[in-house]
Structure 1
Amino acid sequence: MASKSKGLLERFRDGEVVICAEGYLFEFERRGYLQAGTYVPEVVIEHPELVEALHREFVHAGSDVVLAFTFYLHREKLRLIGREADLERLNRAALRLARQVADDTGTLMAGNICSTNIYDPTDPAWEPAARAMFKEQIEWAVEGGADFIYAETFFAYAEARLALDCVKQYGNGLPAVVSISKHRGDLLFDGVPLEDALERLAEAGAAAVGLNCGRGPSTMLPLLQGLKDKIKVPLVAVPVPYRTHQDSPHFMTLKDPDGNLAFPLDLDPWLCSRSQIAAWSARAYALGVRYLGLCCGNASHFTRAMAEALGRQPPASRYTADMTKHAYYGTDPALIKFNTEQVRKTKF
């Protein structure tokens, strides 16, 4: 077992950056172990060895946090696929895998809750139902040894605030990191401005607040610039690694050349490059972001690029590209000169 790392609050207190790799849903869908659309992570009990391996891969690439794969493992999602009876089993399995990897690697382990998909301001019944869903997942996370709770991907302030209140009530004192997913326009789904929502969450006791999912680096950055001097707790930034733009600030509205929606299966042409992720990470850090990650679409090479942009050398950096030894583009004097000279002469 690796030595225990500093806690989340200690890291924030010391001005450190916490990297948290996400993107499990998309990665397992790409690999053929999770269904797009329903997006229920049944893989945690069907192929637990693969979930454990991806946890380890993300830590190898530079993640400071092993995020339990309980995103969308709530009662509403399981109801839709007829597996409510497996709710507790799935959550506890995911938490157990994350805790084991965190213990082995000396990293933090986070429990994970998210939007319930039942928020409806016209129906007061949504709140007690959502509270019950948050309560059970938070209590399982506490029992599973989580170091903090990450509450994410909320589209309405009311649901984000309820999630935070539930962490405070049922989380046995665990810190809460809370992030909102921002669509087009100035207001969240319940009419609250983003800045106001995050300020209220910070004042209510969140350890860190900010943005995740939906927006890519280029369309999340302007929002962060507007928040950096107004949020008094560490700022969270976890974009998707897709090249969203002004006309389509959210990856769910990106379209292919024929005008068809690319989400979720045809987003590959919009993936960022590693250098773009590295450049964005450095800019986000310069703005004061202290909780960084990547959401849907992330993979370990992006996490490594992020870590290296922050001056780190995770274990995966042993294999960072060294083009000086490339047979054709390299500069090492031991290379065969004929090959390198041909590249300079030839137009490939």
Structure 2
Amino acid sequence: MDIPFRERLARGDCLLFDGGMGTEIYAQGVFLNKCYEELNLERPAVVEAVHRRFLQAGAQAGETNTFAACRPRLEPHGLGDRVAEINAAAARLARAAVGHRAYVAGAVGPLGIRLEPWGPTTVDEAVELFKEQISGLLDGGIDLVVFETFTDLVEIQAAVRAAREICELPVVAMMTVDEEGRTPEGVPPEWMVQKLEATEAEVIGINCSVGPASMLPVLETLAASASLPLAAMPNAGIPRPVEGRMIYLTSPAYMGRYARRFRRLGARVIGGCCGVTPEHIQAMSEALGQDPSGEVVPKVVVRAPQIVARQPVPQREKSRLARQIADGRFVTLVEMAPPHGWQAEPVLRLLAPWLDAGIDAVVVPDDPRVSVRLSPMAMARLVLEEIEARGASAEPVLQYTCRDRNLLGMQSDLLGTHALGLRNLFLVTGNAPRPGDMSWSSTVFDVDAIGLTNMVYRLNHGLDVGDTPIGSPTAFFPAVLATIGLVAREEEVRRFEWKVDAGAEFALTSPVFDPEELASFLEAVDSVRVPIIAGLWILTSLRDAEYLAAEVPGVTVPDTVLDRMAAAAAKGEEASEGLAIAREVLEQVREQVEGVFVCGQGALQPGSLEILRDVVGTSRAVERVFPGRPGIKGGAEGQRYGD
């Protein structure tokens, strides 16, 4: 168009964008398993025809067919190296279709990968990925950039930053919300406005996920606190199952009525997303044209509440284990796996001598094998009840994994864990299930251990992952895994640093068989040191040792240990040799660490307890000062996280 986009906004004009590009491409017989962005190169006529239909329907801006045209989302289709080509072609197709009768908006969606603090991609890396895509759009001649259907405020901030670093074009930034008006991470619209207005976008708003009726109250909330022009691009309602297909049943007239309502609330960019056809856009165009005044409802400014983190519970008050570590005690932990089935009494009876001896904590692990066991959370609670019944002073430590749980489920689990009186956590990413009883079982990994640690850190400050207050803060004492193996040492040190930065308060190491390897790891992480509990694996057989050496990442079993176990196997003395090796390791690492963690299949055997008798209840041989960690920032920005 001859009039610049920013000038139209300054005049208070309302601009109608197009509808669902993917919907129209699918209607042309292109199946969903096809990469729609590749059509910009393979079947350009299909894409150009969609643009023309929306233009003829009354759209004043057409979005390029590039929603998923970033490297991470193109790579699964073998198109990762064609980002620039695909985006430039899409922009040229849109321009060829609309000429200068409408604006060409470069459409950019989320990267499809998790960013810090919940995933492995840093913000700076995300910025570069967005730059790559936007650069291609710029080469194709777009008029503005539209970021749409974002779920993560950190990611959309990175996206806008990328645009601002390489161009001066107008930017529209839109999040997506659920039926309750919150982002998938639980961020309410009042806080969403704060974050979006902190970017340099010209227009902020919401699109996708919900229909116009659900979007209207969210837009009302945005209008009450936003100072920037607003955008609203709903779906054509919620798809309904019709003879085995999901069909959008919202009528064009219905969309038209809501377009008028959006404008009266102050929306200056209106369009459609999934299910919105040229017929819908035509009805919206006619409805807006029939309401030329576009009288805006008077704005009542509502100040969004500030995101305020609560003061966390002091570390030594979180649990007895936390207090013992803070007081300089050399702590002793033992692992006890949940049983198959629901009857825990036989396993709990094995704890009696350990509790009587004064062990400090019982670690309840999650089983990586695909087999049915009692829930670790339930088992940890039963351990706590057993401890209390015996009048012992130990506490359970619940190993909590990211596997099989989504972001929402994790938060619910953790709040439930706290309500059950469990305070000590061992946070790990978790392994993909090994073959077992149910090898077809699927896995879920929404975040890894670093993201999980950050989640617990937020809960300990009274906030959920969306920075929504949860009331009183939790009082978890979180541990993380320190993988000490020399393979990928640089990577493991980096991960450990990020775990500490995310809020880890102590760490349990992978099994130690080489004390020098542990010493070199501790030296490498000295600047971010937290209390370290050394893993003391009780070998029960040569096969056990060989398995750890060959098939467990991060564990180093020296040849000398393998040779000793082989010699013991020939004499039928494997169990006693495994105990002797563990005793020697304990003697050599005691002055380097703040405690030991007896683990493995032989952990609960009587001989294992004898190894610990000399150190149970003792003070640490060497007292250390541990570096502090940064406080919460009221959000993710400013903190460093990683994979």
Say whether the 8 Å CA contact 1:241–1:277 is kept in structure 2.
yes
Paired position in structure 2 for 1:266: 245
- Give yes or no for the alignment of 1:135 onto 2:135: no
Q: Which residue of 1 aligns with 2:257?
A: 279
Would the alpha carbon gap of residues 38 and 226 (structure 1) be closer, same or farther in structure 2, given more than 3 Å must change? farther
Deviation of 1:72 after TM superposition, in Å, equals 0.6
| Cα contact 1:40–1:77 (8 A) shared by 2 | no
Q: In the alignment, which residue of structure 1 is the partner of 2:457?
A: none
Question: Could you report, residue by residue, the CA deviation over 1:271-300 in whole angstroms, capped at 9, with x for unpaired residues?
Answer: 201111111111111111110001011111
Contact 2:63 2:106 in 1 (8 A): yes
**Structure 1 residue corresponding to 2:176, chosen from 173, 177, 181:** 181
Residue of structure 1 aligned with 2:289, choices 290, 311, 314:
311
Q: Distance in 2 between matches of 1:276 and 1:193?
A: 26
Query: Does residue 227 of the first structure (1) align with residue 222 of the second (2)?
Result: yes
Match of 1:166 in 2: 162
- The whole-number CA distance in structure 1 between the counterparts of 2:214 and 2:35 is 25
**In 1, distance between residues paired with 2:125 and 2:8?**
34
Q: Conserved in 1, the CA contact under 8 Å of 2:19 and 2:281?
A: no
Q: Which deviates further from its counterpart, 208-217 or 5-14? A: 5-14
Which whole-Å CA distance do the structure 1 matches of 2:181 and 2:234 have between them?
Answer: 18
Q: Which has the higher contact order (CA 8 A, sep 6+)?
A: 1
* Secondary structure at the counterpart of residue 224 of structure 2: coil
Q: Which runs of 4+ in 1 moved over 4 A?
A: 184-187
Amino acid at match of 1:274: P
Q: Distance in 1 between matches of 2:10 and 2:108?
A: 24
Alpha-carbon shift at residue 266 of structure 1 (Å): 2.5
AA matched with 1:231: A
Q: Tell me how far 1:144 sits from its aligned partner.
A: 1.9
Task: Output the CA distance in 2 between the equivalents of 1:287 and 1:49.
Answer: 38
Q: Percent identity between the aligned chains? A: 30
Distance 1:71 1:147, change over 3 A: same
Do 1:118 and 1:126's aligned partners in 2 also have CA atoms closer than 8 Å?
no
Greater CA deviation, 185-194 or 114-123?
185-194
Counterpart of 1:233 in structure 2: which amino acid?
Answer: L
Partners of 1:205 and 1:308 in 2: CA distance: 32
Work out whether residues 233 and 273 of structure 2, in 8 Å CA contact, stay in contact via their aligned partners in 1: yes
5+ unaligned residues in a row in structure 2: which ranges?
Answer: 292-643
Counterpart of 1:158, as a letter, is V
1:155 corresponding residue in structure 2: 151
2:56 maps to what in 1?
A: 60
Letter in 1 for 2:281: T
1:27 aligns with one of 14, 17, 24: 24
Inter-CA distance 151–124: structure 2 relative to 1 (3 Å threshold): same
1:237-248 matches, cutoff 5 A: 237-242=232-237, 244=238
Is the 8 Å Cα contact of residues 38 and 77 (structure 1) preserved in structure 2? no
CA gap of 1:154–1:37, structure 2 versus 1, over 3 A, is: farther
Equivalent residue letter for 2:204: V
Distance 1:68 1:6 in 2: 20
Q: Is 2:54 aligned against 1:73?
A: no
Cα RMSD (Å) of the superposition? 2.2
Amino acid at match of 2:48: E
Of 45, 51, 55, 1:49 maps to 45
Report the alpha carbon displacement of residue 199 of structure 1 after superposing the two structures with TM: 2.9
How many residue pairs end up in the alignment?
290
Q: TM-score under structure 1 normalisation?
A: 0.77
Within a 5 Å distance, the mapping from 1:91-130 to structure 2 comes to 91-103=87-99, 105-120=100-115, 121-130=117-126
Q: Measure how far apart 1:186 and its partner are.
A: 6.0
Secondary structure class of the residue paired with 2:245: coil
Matched residue, 1:324: none
- Give the SS at the match of 2:289: coil
Separation in 2 of the partners of 1:297 and 1:15? Answer: 28
- Per the normalisation by structure 2, the TM-score is 0.43
CA contact (8 A) 2:255 2:283 kept: yes
Structure with the greater alpha carbon radius of gyration? 2
- For residues 300-344 of structure 1, give each alpha carbon's deviation from its aligned partner in whole angstroms, at most 9, with x where no partner exists: 11100000000169xxxxxxxxxxxxxxxxxxxxxxxxxxxxxxx
- Per the alignment, residue 16 of structure 1 pairs with 13
Instruction: Report how far residue 14 of structure 1 moved.
Output: 0.7
- What is the match of residue 278 of structure 2? 300
What is the CA–CA distance in structure 2 between the aligned matches of 1:177 and 1:240, rounded to whole Å? Answer: 18
Unaligned runs of 5+ in 1: 245-250, 314-348
Match of 2:207 among 212, 235, 243: 212
